[in-house]
Amino acid sequence: MSEPPVPPRSAIALGLTAAAAQGRLELQVCEACGAVQYPPREACHRCLSSRLQWRPQAGAGELISQTILHHSHEAFFREHLPWRLGMVHLDCGPTVIAHLHGGVPPAPCRVRITAALDRAGQGVLIALAQGDGSQGDDSQGASMTADENLRELTAPAEHPKVALVTGGSSGIGAATCRAFLAAGYQVVCLAREPFESPAARVHSVEIDLSDAAATREAAAELARRFPITTVVHNAGAIREKPIEEVTLEDLAALTNLHVATAISLVQSALPAMQERRYGRIVLVASRAVLGLARRTVYSATKAALLGLTRTWALELGGHGITVNAIAPGPIEATRMFHELIPADSPKLARIVASIPVGRLGRPEDVARAVMFLAAPEAGFITGQTLYVCGGTSVGSIAY
Amino acid sequence: MSATRRAAYEDAVLTVPVTIPYVRYSTHGAHWFIASALRALLQGGRLGKSELDGLCVSSFTLAPDTAVGVTQHLGLSLRWLDHIPMGGAAAIVAVRRALRAVQAGDATIIACVGADTHQVGTFRATLGSFSQFAQDAVYPYGAGGPNASFAFLTDYYMRAYGARREDFGKLCIAQRENALGFAHALFKKPLTMEQYLGARLVADPLRLFDCVMPCAGAEAFLVMSRRRAEDLGLASVRVLSTLERHNSFPEDPIQMRGGWALERAELFAHAGVSHEDIDFLQTYDDYPVISAMQIEDLGFCGKGEAPQFIRAHTFTTQGTFPLNTSGGQLSVGQAGAAGGYLGTTEAIRQLTGATLGAVVPDARIALVSGFGMINYDRGLCCGAAILAGPRA
């Protein structure tokens, strides 16, 4: 959605915005002659004094003229046409041009002018209906929500930047948490160990995500406490074994860790996302979904995430929520990788030689892809799997 | 009002009306249109470039230049230069300044030019930076531009004085008829009341044919002594009187009257003519409500009586009250500041028998009115001039 126009405004007009930020209507009052004036000026229009002060105003006045725009020169208003405006003669003197709330009857009628911040952070005047004066002032917030155009005009420009990341204490998860912090997000980290960061915008929860009941409880609690708009499920374990040695306990543990955790986190964050009509879900799967020896349970449960991704993309797309998966190839500097592949081993050299780009991936390579899919601007990408694998998902023949 | 009688305009005249044909959009800059107008003025006046010693420019799209930049851009060496950023009142104010300069001998031949280009985005850019008050207190409210400003005035006027859509439609339709013979008009088909009333809404209650169409073009004329014009064999018109008033009635909560109402008595007295002597009227007509207001404030009827006046009269060149005889901006187009010049060039043509389109029979005296610059909630600049042709 476009932002309301932000033409350069005069420095003197900031007084209106400063008061609007605190929910007050203030206009310039001349200390020499008492004149109240609008638009803002550098001197009193009546006596030329420069002794002007911003003073709170009741905002009562008469709507003397109105129009309904069916054309605008700015994209934000064009997207919200028709748009209602009025000219209001304030009891304190000046005539102001104001947005008209839907509850205001046709001119002429009594109205009350209030000041609010528009999405661009600038103070704007809004006329609300005023009956015979016996009604109590309904709060501005309640009135705004009753008028869709004004709600959008005055809503904060951005969705809350709150990302929940699992497995954020190390490797890909830690790199992802750092990327979210750098992008201005508040980060909620769920992992066996805390995400080490001096940033005040980090909330770490120590948890074993293969405990489905504990995870479900934590997810519900976090959704109550934080306006989560972004979920990145990255936590994983491998349990490397040949098929002969795989147990059903292995399957249950990784099903809980990879699949049940995703379901619980998304289910708890979903109501708020749907209400905001905005959400970003990124599930970190693995290149191993294409097949990798000794990864029976790992590849099966990571592949399940692709099923969740495609299914949820269909169910949630209409709510402004996108769901995508990332499938990383071999990534160095992660606990998972180096537990299996010792540094400086011949095995490591063989793996590197088999990667088309000629190197192992780094956690930041994956974090970059997460940030791409988690961005508010990525709203037309959903249900996709992005391989971040140095080319190892491309099957070919070595000549 | 001035207690001492103003000097007459005596010997200085207006001549060589020029129109650079309008186009909806142009890739040329404003300087191109000013240069084209100057070429046409010099050709029409049978003058060399060096004989021009004064220039007065009005343009919205000349930035970052002003008239100063134009002198070097076009290689003009001048002893008198003016830049008049008054939009729809620019031509009247230019006439006032240039006449006095020629009369006093500060300049001998002055070119008065209103010119603008129109490119994708220039109109919006002009609106977004039109004035400090517009930036602070108008543009953030829907960015509707002058359509919204005149919608407010029209909505109020209709309720206050019982005007009907049909009243405004009658003016628009008559002007369209006037425009059909005027080759420079961008609108070339007749307008019916049904089309007018049923056109798409732009800013309630204004519909499409209530609103001027922005375009590119130029209007210009020369100011010189009557003797010089005669020596050059140029038909010219005298200026019997003028008025100018800015920010009139600042305490009115909404603009229902303009500076004409303060100055008209002195205007007619100074000119030595009465309303009955006026053969046709050119109003500034970007929206019909403002034509109605000028008819009232110039004294052709009382305040609030324009609706009845419109119902009682006809406004084509052959009508009982010829108005905007080349079609006005509503049918010709609004080439920025040239819109403020349109009525003056057309009046010079009608009075000197050089009309390009429909003719007002035996026209001797004309009243041209200007209105401009919606700085915040109202037009601040008002002007008018009474012109007399050779037949007067």
Average pLDDT over residues A264-284: 94
Contact A60, A131 (CB under 8 A): no
CA distances for B313 relative to A299, B167, B310, B359, angstroms: 88, 11, 5, 18
- pLDDT cut 70: percent of chain B above it: 99
Contact B213, B24 (CB under 8 A): yes
Supply angle C-alpha A100, A87, B209, rounded to 5. 95
Return the pLDDT at A277.
87
A95 near B CB under 8 A: yes
Q: Residue A137 pLDDT > 50, yes or no?
A: no
Q: Could you tell me which residue, B39 or A139, shows the higher pLDDT?
A: B39
For residues B213 and B186, what is the distance between their CA atoms, to the nearest angstrom? 9
Provide the pLDDT confidence category of residue A133 given band limits of 50, 70 and 90: very low
Provide the pLDDT confidence category of residue A145 given band limits of 50, 70 and 90: low
Give the bridge partners for B386, in sequence order.
Answer: B241, B367
Helices and strands per DSSP (H, E), number in chain B: 14, 11
The shortest C-alpha distance from B83 to chain A (Å) reads: 25
- Of the candidate CATH numbers 3.30.950.10, 3.50.50.60, 3.40.50.720, 3.40.50.2000, the domain formed by A162-388 belongs to 3.40.50.720
> Is the CB of A70 less than 8 angstroms away from the CB of B143?
no
Average pLDDT over residues A192-217: 90
Chain B residue closest in CA terms to A106: B155
Return the pLDDT at A81.
93
User: What 8-state DSSP symbol labels residue A10?
Assistant: -
Angle subtended by helix axes B90-104 and B342-351, to nearest 10:
60
Chain B residue closest in CA terms to A98: B141
Chain B residue closest in CA terms to A74: B143
Return the pLDDT at A136.
41
Q: Residue A129 pLDDT > 50, yes or no?
A: yes
The residues of A assigned a catalytic role are 298
> Is the CB of A77 less than 8 angstroms away from the CB of B137?
no
Task: Tell me which amino acid residue A372 is.
Answer: F
Q: Do domains B12-121+216-231 and B143-207+235-388 have the same CATH topology?
A: yes
Within 8 A of B147 by CB-CB distance, chain A residues are 69, 71
Alpha-carbon dihedral B353, B359, B365, B371, rounded to 10 degrees: -110
Quote the mean pLDDT of chain A.
90
Least confident residue range of A72-81, A155-164, A189-198: A155-164
- What's the pLDDT tens digit per position in A91-106? 999 999 999 999 999 9
Angle subtended by helix axes A212-225 and A261-276, to nearest 10:
20
Say if pTM beats, i.e. exceeds, 0.90. no
- What's the pLDDT tens digit per position in B278-318? 999 999 999 999 999 999 999 999 999 999 999 999 999 99
For residues A361 and A337, what is the distance between their CA atoms, to the nearest angstrom? 11
**Which residues 6+ apart lie within 8 Å of A352 measured at CB?**
A358, A359, A360
For residues A122 and A21, what is the distance between their CA atoms, to the nearest angstrom? 9
A85 near B CB under 8 A: yes
For residues A7 and A291, what is the distance between their CA atoms, to the nearest angstrom? 56
Average pLDDT over residues B170-180: 98
**Which residues 6+ apart lie within 8 Å of A387 measured at CB?**
A287, A326, A327, A329, A393
B301, two tokens: 């009827």
Tell which of B136, B138, B150, B208 to mutate to test the A interface (max A CBs under 10 Å). Answer: B136
Contact A262, A308 (CB under 8 A): yes
A224 near B CB under 8 A: no
Cis omega (within 30 of 0) on the bond before A39?
yes
How high is the ipTM of this complex?
0.93
- What's the pLDDT tens digit per position in B99-128? 999 999 999 999 999 999 999 888 888 887
Provide the pLDDT confidence category of residue A132 given band limits of 50, 70 and 90: very low
The radius of gyration computed from the CA coordinates of chain A, to the nearest angstrom, equals 28
Average pLDDT over residues B316-328: 97
Average pLDDT over residues B225-249: 97
DSSP H or E segment with residue B350: helix B342-351
b/e map B64-88, b = 16+ CB within 10 Å: ebebeebbeeeebebebbbbbbbbb
The sign of the CA dihedral B117, B121, B122, B123 is positive
Return the pLDDT at A139.
43
- What's the pLDDT tens digit per position in A279-321? 999 999 999 999 999 999 999 999 999 999 999 999 999 999 9
For residues A116 and A140, what is the distance between their CA atoms, to the nearest angstrom? 9
For residues B161 and B278, what is the distance between their CA atoms, to the nearest angstrom? 26
Provide the pLDDT confidence category of residue B89 given band limits of 50, 70 and 90: very high
Contact B229, A93 (CB under 8 A): no
Average pLDDT over residues A216-244: 93
- What's the pLDDT tens digit per position in B347-392? 999 999 999 999 999 999 999 999 999 999 999 999 999 999 999 8
- In three-state secondary structure terms, B81 is strand
Task: Tell me which amino acid residue A311 is.
Answer: T
b/e map B322-350, b = 16+ CB within 10 Å: bbbbbbbbbbbbbbbbbbbbbbbbbbbbb
Look-up: residue for tokens 């108005």?
B323
Look-up: residue for tokens 């007459």?
B8
Give the bridge partners for A322, in sequence order.
Answer: A280
- In three-state secondary structure terms, A170 is coil
Q: Could you tell me which residue, B114 or A274, shows the higher pLDDT?
A: B114
How many residues belong to chain A? 399
The shortest C-alpha distance from B123 to chain A (Å) reads: 9
Q: Which of B212, B206, B259 is nearest to B89 (CA)?
A: B259
User: What 8-state DSSP symbol labels residue A2?
Assistant: P
For residues A290 and B361, what is the distance between their CA atoms, to the nearest angstrom? 91
Domain boundaries, chain A: 11-154, 162-388
For residues B181 and B160, what is the distance between their CA atoms, to the nearest angstrom? 36
Average pLDDT over residues A219-239: 93
Domain at B12-121+216-231: CATH code: 3.40.47.10
Q: In CATH, what is the architecture of B143-207+235-388?
A: 3-Layer(aba) Sandwich (3.40)
Q: Which residues of B touch chain A, with CB atoms under 8 Å apart?
A: 123-124, 127-129, 132-133, 135-145, 147-148, 151-153, 155-156, 159, 200-206, 250, 253-254, 376-377
Count of CA atoms in the C-beta half-sphere (13 A) of A29: 10
Phi, psi of B319 (to 5 degrees): -85, -175
Q: Which of B7, B14, B242 is nearest to B104 (CA)?
A: B7
Angle subtended by helix axes B288-297 and B146-161, to nearest 10:
50
Return the pLDDT at B284.
98
Task: Tell me which amino acid residue B131 is.
Answer: S
Q: Residue A135 pLDDT > 60, yes or no?
A: no
DSSP H or E segment with residue A128: strand A123-129
Average pLDDT over residues B323-346: 97
- In three-state secondary structure terms, B286 is coil
For residues B289 and B255, what is the distance between their CA atoms, to the nearest angstrom? 11
Contact B152, B256 (CB under 8 A): no
For residues B168 and B193, what is the distance between their CA atoms, to the nearest angstrom? 10
Domain boundaries, chain B: 12-121+216-231, 143-207+235-388
The shortest C-alpha distance from A307 to chain B (Å) reads: 46
Quote the mean pLDDT of chain B.
96
Average pLDDT over residues A361-367: 96
Contact B178, B317 (CB under 8 A): yes
